[in-house]
Amino acid sequence: MKVFKKVLALALATVMSAAILTGCGQDSDSRTIIRIGHNQSTNHPTHIALVAFEEWIESKLGDKYDVEVFPSELLGSQNEMVQLTQTGAINFCVASNSLLETFSTNYTLFNLPYLFASAEAYHASMDDEAITGPIFESTKDAGFEAVTWLDAGTRNFYTVSTPIETPADLKGLKIRVQQSPTNVQMMSLLGGSATPMGFGDVYTALQSKIIDGAENNELALTDNGHGDVCKYYSYDMHQMIPDILIGNIVFLDGLSEEERAIFEEGFQLVNKVQREEWTDAVAAAKDRAANEQGVQFLYPDTKPFQEACAPMHEDMLEQYPNLAPIYDAIQVHNEQYPSAES
Ligand code: GCU
C-alpha cells in the first residue's frame, strides 16, 4: 500500500509539474483545476470540511474552477505537499503547524508544549487575528500563506506496552515525533528518545517495533490504526498544535477581488465545518479505541510533564523576541479560560 501510494504520488507530481510547465492546470471543459492535498482519511473532519469547501467554490464559481481534494497523502507526505504548494504545483494543502516552523520560525510559537491553558484558550487564541495574522502572513516570501486553521485536538503519548504515568516512564523509549526542532527538544526534556518521521510511516514503525510509541490526538488510534498496536493512551496533554490550510501565494494573489471574497468565505467554512465535526469525531474515536481496539486511557498528573517542558517558553522568547507580544496576547486568553486543574 505504501509503495503504491509513493508511486501514485510520484506519478501525480510528475503530471502536475508537466501541467505547470506547459501552463495547463485545466480540465477538459477548460475550467482551472484547484488541487488540495491532505494526509487524513476520508472520514476525518478535515476531509469533510474540504469537501464542503469544494462544494462552496463550485456552487459560486463552478464555471471557472474545478476543485479536487486529495486525501491520505495521495500527493505525498505533508512536507512534500508544502513544497508542492510553495512551487504552485498544487494550490492548497493542510499542514501541521509543527512542520511550518521550518519555513518560518514564527510558527514555533504554536508548537510550544503547554502554551494554551485549556482548549477554550486555544480556540480563542487561534480565532484572534491579532495573534494569528502576523504568523500566518510570515511565509508569503516562502511562496505560501496560511488561510485558516483547523483543530487537531490535544497531543498525548501512546505506547505499545508501557503505561506513561510520569515523564520517568518515557526514559529509554523511542517515541515518534513530528519533524520539527521544537518537538525534538520537547522529547529530550521529557526524557524519551525522539524519532522524527512523517505521519504516514508511523503505523509500520510501530508494528515493526522500530519505535515504542508516538504522540497525537485520539483520531490517530482509529483513523490511522495506531490503536491496533498501542494499548496505552496517556492524557499528559503536552500540546495543542493546530493544522493550517495553506495556499500558494501566486494563485491567491491572482484571484480577482470578488473571487478572493468568495474564497475567504470558503476558508471560514472549512474552519467552521471542521470544528463542528471535531468533538463528535474525538468521542467516537475514543469509544472505538476503548471498546474495539482494547486501548486503555490513562489520566496522569500533568504537572511533572509541564514542569519538564517549562524552560522551552523562556528559551523561545529569548531566541525570537519578536514573538513576545503575541505570546503575551495568548496569556490574556489563558487567564480568561484557565485550565480546569488550576
Ligand atoms: C495530526 C495532525 C496532522 C499531522 C499528524 C502528525 O493528525 O492533524 O496534520 O500530520 O498529527 O502527527 O504528523
Ligand 1 pocket: which of 38, 39, 158, 245 to mutate (most atoms <8 Å of CB)?
A: 39
Distance of CA 219 from the midpoint of ligand 1 (Å): 10
Predicted confidence band of residue 26 (pLDDT cuts 50, 70, 90): confident
pLDDT recorded at residue 16: 54
Beta strands in the chain (DSSP E): 32-37, 65-70, 92-96, 144-150, 155-159, 174-177, 193-196, 213-216, 232-239, 243-248, 296-298
Please tell me the pTM assigned to this model.
Answer: 0.94
Return d(Cα 212, Cα 206) in angstroms, integer.
6
Label the pairing between strands 32-37 and 92-96: parallel
Place of cell 493550517: 244
Give kind and range of the element (H or E) at residue 183. helix 181-190
Distance of CA 74 from the midpoint of ligand 1 (Å): 15
176 φψ region: left (φ > 0), alpha (ψ -120 to 50), beta (else): beta
216-241: buried (b, 16+ CB within 10 Å) or exposed (e) per residue? bbbbbbbbbbbbbbbbbbbebbbbbb
Question: Which ligand 1 atom is at minimum distance from the Cα of 96?
Answer: 9
State which amino acid sits at residue 98.
S
- Of 21-25, 45-49, 227-231, the least confident: 21-25
Residues with CB under 6 A from ligand 1: 39, 78, 96, 152, 178, 199, 216, 220, 243
Give kind and range of the element (H or E) at residue 329. helix 324-336
Distance of CA 295 from the midpoint of ligand 1 (Å): 20
Ligand 1 pocket: which of 38, 77, 94, 98 to mutate (most atoms <8 Å of CB)?
A: 98
Distance of CA 96 from the midpoint of ligand 1 (Å): 6
Is pLDDT at 20 greater than 60 in this prediction? no
Is pLDDT at 28 greater than 90 in this prediction? no
From atom 13 of ligand 1, which residue's Cα is the shortest distance away? Answer: 199
Residues in the chain: 342
- In DSSP terms, 297 is beta-bridged to 233
Return d(Cα 110, Cα 182) in angstroms, integer.
10
Place of cell 481496539: 293
Distance of CA 29 from the midpoint of ligand 1 (Å): 36
Distance of CA 195 from the midpoint of ligand 1 (Å): 15
% residues pLDDT > 70 (the chain)? 93
Per-residue pLDDT tens for 129-186?
999 999 999 999 999 999 999 999 999 999 999 999 999 999 999 999 999 999 999 9
Is pLDDT at 24 greater than 50 in this prediction? no
pLDDT recorded at residue 94: 99
pLDDT recorded at residue 13: 52
Ligand 1 pocket: which of 80, 96, 218 to mutate (most atoms <8 Å of CB)?
A: 96
Is pLDDT at 4 greater than 80 in this prediction? no
> How many alpha carbons fall within 13 Å on the CB side of residue 188?
8
Distance of CA 61 from the midpoint of ligand 1 (Å): 31
Is pLDDT at 280 greater than 60 in this prediction? yes
C-alpha distance from residue 221 to each of 4, 48, 50, 205, 218 (Å):
23, 19, 22, 14, 6
Return d(Cα 183, Cα 287) in angstroms, integer.
28
Which of the pair, 29 or 207, is modelled with greater confidence? 207
Torsion of CA 69, 74, 75, 78, to 10 degrees: 100
| Average pLDDT in the chain | 94
| DSSP secondary structure letters along 297-318 | EE---SHHHHHHHTHHHHHHHH
What grid cell was written down for 261?
A: 471574497
Predicted confidence band of residue 25 (pLDDT cuts 50, 70, 90): confident
3-state SS, residue 26? strand
Distance of CA 31 from the midpoint of ligand 1 (Å): 32
Is pLDDT at 23 greater than 70 in this prediction? no
Closest CA to 285 of 49, 45, 95, 77: 45
Q: Across the beta sheet with 193-196, what order do the strands follow?
A: 193-196, 174-177, 213-216, 155-159, 232-239, 296-298
Question: Which ligand 1 atom is at minimum distance from the Cα of 39?
Answer: 10
Per-residue pLDDT tens for 51-109?
999 999 999 999 999 999 999 999 999 999 999 999 999 999 999 999 999 999 999 99
Return d(Cα 222, Cα 138) in angstroms, integer.
34
Return d(Cα 233, Cα 296) in angstroms, integer.
6
Cβ(93)–Cβ(53) under 8 Å?
no
Per-residue pLDDT tens for 207-255?
999 999 999 999 999 999 999 999 999 999 999 999 999 999 999 999 9
